[in-house]
Amino acid sequence: MVVASCAALLSTGGAAIAQATTPQAAQAVDTVPQVPEWLGPDQGCTAASTRLMRKTPWSQPMIGLRSAQKLSLGDGVTVGVVGTGVDVRAAAFKSRISGDGKDDCVGHGTFAAGLIAAAPVKGVGFVGVAPHARIFGVRATTERGVTDADSIATAITSAVDAGCGVVLVSVPYGKPSKQMKSAVQDALEKDVVVVAPAAGGDQTSAPAYPGALPGVVAVGAVGVDGAPYPSERKATPATPDLVAPGDRLISLGPGGGHFTASGDPVAAAYVAGAAALVRAHDTSLSAQEVVTRLQSTAVRPAGRVPGPLAGYGMLDLVAAVSGVNDSDGAVTTSQGVHIRPYRVPEPKPSVSPLSAWIVAGCAMLVAALTAAVAAAVPRGRARRWQTGSRSVGDDV
């Protein structure tokens, strides 16, 4: 029984113990209020949250946030947040908010803006991707969060005209309009990175716009295990370009307290923040080069790339900002070196010190048993498998 248990542990490299310590998305957010994407007819404005999460959210280590922030903090980049508005009362924005959407009855736009650019607060684990970037908030909805294609188009144009280098559309719509297509095309021609969710709300099997339009970076959500979120998600005619954490994320909401939210719209905020880090780190890159950088440095999914559910893969902030990966030495620079897509090696299971000692002990035990058997077999054969106390002539 002991040998069988050791063999099982050795075959997984200690993964059985390592998996027991894997962080779960719900561990620290069960008591945090959820920010809605829109408000029902009888709902009042989203009440301020008094909760502040002290621990680092699971999503930040997953994309390598702290390491990437040693390279870039988003200085000099303005990100347009097209959504329900942005509440300027949040201290973590530190007066870096402009635009006409300076209040947010729903709270979803504030949540997205926090994921992009919230500054660190002492004693709080949560921080935005690009905490030195500026936010230009543009409301593309009614006060209750209802939108349409032309309202989104008008908001995109306002953000582009304000000089935003990155525009996040956090409120997707089910179909495009001529005005939306024109606004997106104009943004791309003016060297703006446009990011949007691949799907929105409960419509995880249907494309959303402007994410499904050519040139827009469409983003899908994944959970704490890296699998598509939600688990029943199906491929859409317009596949995502990238995936990023999007299951019960932590960010700011009305009043500056912490909320939680899930789905493609909040995952897209991470990619918008990543684009801000890249643009700040290398100002010579065009919008298309930034998009290529994000795609080419993503952690590759299994199978065909781009894949139907994960596109080019999982956002990798460190590789995206630096342009360097550690698997095959591919590099991109401001001098125009081509970024070669690469496949990241399968991650090695993390093993705790306890499991390492158990694995080592099991290995020694197995080695000792193997040596004993190896020594016994020749002697047994010589005795024709009789015990050492009896001779061949004693057989009856």
With tokens 């508005």, the residue in question is: 85
Task: Return the HEC string of 329-365.
Answer: CCECCCCCCCCCCCCCCCCCCCCCHHHHHHHHHHHHH
User: Of 86, 202, 69, 192, which is closest to residue 129 (Cα–Cα)?
Assistant: 69
Q: Are 215 and 287 in contact (CB under 8 A)?
A: no
pLDDT at 184: 98
What DSSP state is assigned to residue 105? S
Q: pTM of the prediction? A: 0.76
- Per run of 10 residues, the mean pLDDT along the chain (length 396 residues) is 34 28 48 91 92 92 95 97 92 89 90 97 94 97 95 98 98 95 98 93 71 96 89 74 95 92 95 98 97 95 84 95 64 36 38 46 54 51 45 36
Neighbour tally for 99: CB within 10 Å: 23
Strands (E), the chain: 78-83, 97-99, 134-139, 166-169, 193-197, 217-222, 242-245, 249-252, 258-261
Domain boundaries, the chain: 45-322
DSSP string across 210-278? TTTSTT-EEEEEE-TTSSBSSTT----SS--SEEEE-SSEEEE-GGG-EEEE-SHHHHHHHHHHHHHHH
Paired with 16 in beta bridges are none
The answer for residues whose C-beta is within 8 angstroms of residue 367's C-beta and 6 or more apart is none
Superfamily of domain 45-322: Peptidase S8/S53 domain (3.40.50.200)
